[in-house]
Amino acid sequence: MSTTPPAGPAGRTSETERADGTVPFAPPPDLTDQDLDVLLKQLGNLVTPMAVRVAATLRLVDHLRDGATTVALLAARTGTHAPTLARLVRHLVVTGVLEGDGEDGTLRPTRLGLLLADDHPAQQRAWLDLHGAIAHADLAFAGLLDAVRTGRPAYQGRYGRPFWEDLSAKQELADSFDALMSCDEDLAYDAPAASLDWTATRHVLDVGGGNGALLAAVARTAPEVRGTLVELPGPAAQARRRFAEAGLDDRFAVVDGSFFDPLPAIADTVVLSFVLLNWSDEDALVVLRRCVEALEPGGRLVVLDRADRAGDGSDRFFSTLLDLRMLVFMGGRVRTRDEVIRLAADAGLVLAAEGGSGSRTLPFGFSILEFVLAPVPTPSAKEK
């Protein structure tokens, strides 16, 4: 059976290709009908993903590594119903996550199962933990059909509040979200901050600035710049703490507020970092217009986002996965660079620079687009 993937458009090499040229997640082209039937059952069933998530939540792999190698011991450690846990374990053995026998003390994680260890660097356990922000939100995928029918997010229907309001109100979800996202904040924010030219900036307004990680990075690269961060109350409190601890509170003000309302400061640089993808075109346009109102004459809007390089065949699995999460969690969407530029044009902005001016490569497929106000068209000679 060949494992060569279908060639990507224009024969470009995909970012997600393995060294041997195969693409994870793309089904090999020459599977038998029987293989395809099995594949669809693996892709389409909800039982296995939920079983894996329950295993992650109960930390079964850590308990197994700690010597709880029977179902009875595992049930005692996890406070679960032993006969029912045995049924879960049977499915995890069949699907190759665990191996051995739950009765005779030989139960253990497979190489695949070891990825669910809490200390595994890939952090899969935390992502799949049903008490964690992402797996908790993923449960709203039960409403994907409605989301596809209406274009509206499913999260609020399940949890009673929009995603960000829920996170702002629930500290444990917010902590889990920050832990999952803050893979390496220095790497994540220092590179974009350093790649921008701050020489003409006196005041930066970070709109939906989260816990202040980006402004802290700006402070490291441009010590003269002062700023304001506007956020919902939960993250705003975190940003305030961060700036106080770093001795930056005299340079960066934090304001509780919504970016759908008039913004609290006028600035020569307004930043929208990983905000637009959370919103529908309609809502994103409102936010962009608020940013435009907050721009000093001659100022710039910096949009830091994840670049979806649609069409070049790269990173399609993760990009579409993120896109559907944006839909279900928040009604948002992953946009291509051109889509962001078109949306910004609707708010009266034109692209002035791209990628920052520095030479540092941006991590994680980040993109930077710098916009300025579009020139107001002068009346033509005929019209005068």
Ligand X SMILES: C[S@@+](CC[C@H](N)C(=O)[O-])C[C@H]1O[C@@H](n2cnc3c(N)ncnc32)[C@H](O)[C@@H]1O
Q: Give the residues lining the site for ligand X (CB under 6 A).
A: 164, 168, 208-210, 213-214, 230-232, 235, 258-260, 273-275, 278
- In the complex, what is the shortest distance from the CB of residue 163 to ligand X, in angstroms, rounded to a whole number? 8
| Closest CB to ligand X among residues 89, 205 | 205
Nearest distance in Å: CB 314, ligand X = 22
In the block, tokens 């253990």 appear at 108
Nearer Cβ to ligand X (97/232) = 232
SS3 readout for the chain:
CCCCCCCCHHHCCCCCCCCCCCCCCCCCCCCCHHHHHHHHHHHHCCHHHHHHHHHHHCCHHHHHHCCCCCHHHHHHHHCCCHHHHHHHHHHHHHCCCEECCCCCCCCEECCCHHHHCCCCCCCHHHHHCCCCHHHHHHHHHHHHHHHHHHCCCCHHHHHCCCHHHHHHHCHHHHHHHHHHHCCCHHHHHHHHHHHCCCCCCCEEEEECCCCCHHHHHHHHHCCCCEEEEEECHHHHHHHHHHHHHCCCCCCEEEEECCCCCCCCCCEEEEEEECCHHHCCHHHHHHHHHHHHHCEEEEEEEEEEEECECCCCCCCHHHHHHHHHHHHHHHCCCCCEHHHHHHHHHHCCEEEEEECCCCCCCCCCCEEEEEEEECCCCCCCCCCC
Give me the least distance between CB of 276 and ligand X, in Å please: 10
Let me know: does 302 contact 270? Beta carbons within 8 Å: yes
- In whole angstroms, how close is the CB of 308 to ligand X at the nearest point? 15
Q: Which is nearer to ligand X, 141 or 189 (CB)?
A: 189
- What is the smallest separation between the CB atom of 178 and ligand X, expressed in angstroms? 9
Nearest distance in Å: CB 83, ligand X: 42
N-term to C-term CA, the chain: 72
Q: How far is the CB of 167 from ligand X (least distance, A)?
A: 6
Using the minimum distance from each CB to ligand X, give the nearer residue, 201 or 238. Answer: 238
| Closer to ligand X by Cβ: residue 102 or 212 | 212
What tokens does 180 get? Answer: 């999952």
Q: What is the closest distance, in whole angstroms, from the C-beta atom of residue 184 to ligand X in the complex?
A: 13
In angstroms, what is the minimal distance from the CB of 273 to ligand X? 3
Between 116 and 276, CB nearer to ligand X: 276
Nearer to ligand X, 25 or 260 (CB): 260
Least Å distance, CB 80 to ligand X, is 34
Of 68 and 216, the one with the shorter C-beta distance to ligand X is 216
Residue among 141 and 164 whose Cβ is closer to ligand X: 164
Comparing CA positions, the residue from 138, 129, 128, 180 lying closest to residue 159 is 138
Q: Which is nearer to ligand X, 85 or 216 (CB)?
A: 216
Helix axis angle, 337-346 relative to 281-293, nearest 10°?
A: 60
CB of 186 closer than 8 Å to CB of 213: no
Give the CB-nearest residue to ligand X: 210
Q: How far is CA 13 from the centre of its chain?
A: 24
Q: Residue 354 is inside which H or E element, if any? A: strand 349-354
